């Protein structure tokens, strides 16, 4: 398990060393407590990152021992408990003007070698190809959520019935151009109001605010979206630097897709093609379920500012034309 506390570096810039360490000490103590309840081991705490593992019994002292049963469930139970306990503390900390730290957690199940690197002290290490996958999932994970690798999901089996729903999320395998799946657990599917308040608290603490004007499309009008992954959907809104779109597949943060937009008449596609704007590269910034579909926010990657302004101008004119026709 890899866990990251967003906002910790920012707190270090705003607080005294003593206050910053006290805040980190408090949240790390909570994280360790939940991990220990499920027989996990905390390997490392470095800055805003925590690394833990499950399935090894230190009391046996056997380097060749088989993994303990239910270690995948133990890891997921710990992650869910950590996320839920953390969000409980948000409102109190926010009222007191203290920093709040959204968490991102990646879990992967893999075979590893484990041992002590030192002859005169204790310096445990883990070695295995799958460790990097857990770290990458933590990086791809969104705040307040958990990402699981396929091997972890398979081991959970029937245990999933007692856990939150898992949503398959797509990502592009590096260098192969093939879509693969990992799985997202949202511990707050039934606590949306609390989650909204937590996001608001973090935005106020971090100073992150949206400054760009976004242009929404009328609900009764569809601008179609086609991707290079054979996915299709509709444009929801757009701004100078990005757009949101409803798609049939659920992509992880950081996935890059190529888009083509069109109107029902086909005129928008022609205008974009004539302006050299036919193919749009978009990187996933966030995603969420939306009924049977999924809405994503994308950052435009392949247009320089001049082309972005032209792209924005064409879409704005399309929205104006749509609004005039719907009146």
Is residue 163 predicted with pLDDT exceeding 70? no
Distance of alpha carbon 306 from alpha carbon 270, whole angstroms: 19
Residue 143 has φ and ψ, to the nearest 5°, of -60, 140
Q: Where are any strands of DSSP class E within 166-263?
A: 166-172, 179-185, 215-216, 224-227, 232-238, 242-247, 256-262
Residue 302: is its pLDDT beyond 80? yes
pLDDT digits (tens, 9 = 90+) for 7-26: 999 888 889 999 999 999 99
Q: Which of 56, 75, 49 is nearest to 114 (CA)?
A: 56
Q: pLDDT band at residue 47, thresholds of 50, 70 and 90? A: confident
Distance between CA atoms of residues 35 and 52, nearest Å: 8
DSSP assignments along 78-145, one per residue: HHHHHHHHHHHTHHHHHHTT-----EEEEE-----EEEE--SSS--EEEE-HHHHHHHHHHHHPPTTE
Distance from chain centroid for Cα 261: 26
Which of the four pLDDT bands, split at 50, 70 and 90, describes residue 322? confident
- Nearest Cα residue to 106 out of 62, 69, 66, 150: 150
* pLDDT computed for residue 176 by the predictor: 61
3-state DSSP helix/strand/coil percent for the chain, to nearest 5?
Answer: 35, 30, 35
Q: How far apart, in Å, are the Cα atoms of 65 and each of 62, 72, 299?
A: 5, 17, 47
For residue 80, is pLDDT > 70?
A: yes
Residue 51 CB neighbours (<10 A)? 18
CA 130 centroid distance within chain: 19
Rg of the Cα atoms in the chain:
23
Tell me the mean pLDDT in the region 318-323. Answer: 79
DSSP character at residue 191: -
Q: What is the pLDDT of residues 211-260, one digit of tens each?
A: 788 999 988 888 999 999 999 999 999 999 999 999 999 999 999 999 99
Confidence at residue 122, expressed as pLDDT on a 0 to 100 scale = 72
Q: Is 172 helix (H, G, I), strand (E, B) or coil?
A: strand
| pLDDT exceeds cutoff 90 at 298 | yes
User: Coil, helix or strand for 167?
Assistant: strand
Residue 251's CB: how many other CB atoms inside 10 A? 25
Q: What is the pTM of this model?
A: 0.88
What is the three-class DSSP state of 54?
A: coil
pLDDT at site 85:
94
Domains annotated on the chain, with CATH: 2-206 (3.30.70.1230), 215-326 (2.40.10.220)
């Amino acid at each position: 398990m890899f866990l990251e506390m967003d906002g910790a570096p920012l707190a270090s810039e705003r607080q005294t060393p003593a206050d910053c360490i006290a805040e980190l000490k408090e949240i790390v103590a909570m994280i360790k407590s939940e991990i220990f309840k499920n027989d996990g081991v905390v390997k490392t705490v470095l800055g805003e990152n925590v690394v833990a593992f499950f399935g090894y019994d230190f009391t046996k002292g056997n380097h060749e021992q088989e993994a303990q049963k239910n270690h995948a469930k133990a890891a997921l139970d710990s992650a869910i408990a950590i996320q839920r306990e953390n969000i409980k503390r948000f409102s109190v900390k926010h009222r007191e003007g203290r920093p709040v730290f959204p968490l991102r957690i990646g879990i992967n199940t893999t075979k590893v070698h484990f041992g002590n690197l030192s002859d005169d002290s204790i310096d445990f290490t883990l070695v295995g190809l799958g460790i990097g996958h857990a770290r990458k999932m933590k990086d791809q994970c969104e705040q307040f959520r958990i990402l699981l690798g396929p091997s972890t999901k398979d081991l959970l089996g029937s245990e999933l019935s007692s856990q939150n729903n898992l949503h398959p999320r797509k990502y592009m395998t590096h260098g192969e151009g093939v879509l693969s799946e990992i799985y997202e657990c949202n511990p707050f599917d039934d606590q949306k109001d609390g989650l909204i308040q937590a996001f608001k608290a973090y935005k106020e603490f971090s100073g992150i605010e949206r400054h760009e004007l976004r242009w929404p499309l009328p609900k009764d009008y569809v601008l179609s979206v086609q991707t290079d992954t054979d996915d299709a959907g509709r444009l929801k809104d757009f701004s100078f630097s990005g757009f949101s779109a409803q798609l049939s597949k659920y992509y992880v943060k950081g996935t890059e897709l190529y888009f083509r937009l069109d109107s029902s008449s086909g005129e928008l596609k022609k205008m974009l093609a004539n302006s050299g704007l036919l193919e749009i590269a978009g990187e996933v910034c966030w995603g969420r379920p939306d009924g049977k579909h999924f809405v994503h926010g994308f950052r435009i990657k392949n247009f320089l500012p001049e082309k972005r302004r032209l792209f924005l101008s064409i879409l704005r004119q399309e929205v104006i034309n749509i609004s005039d026709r719907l009146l």
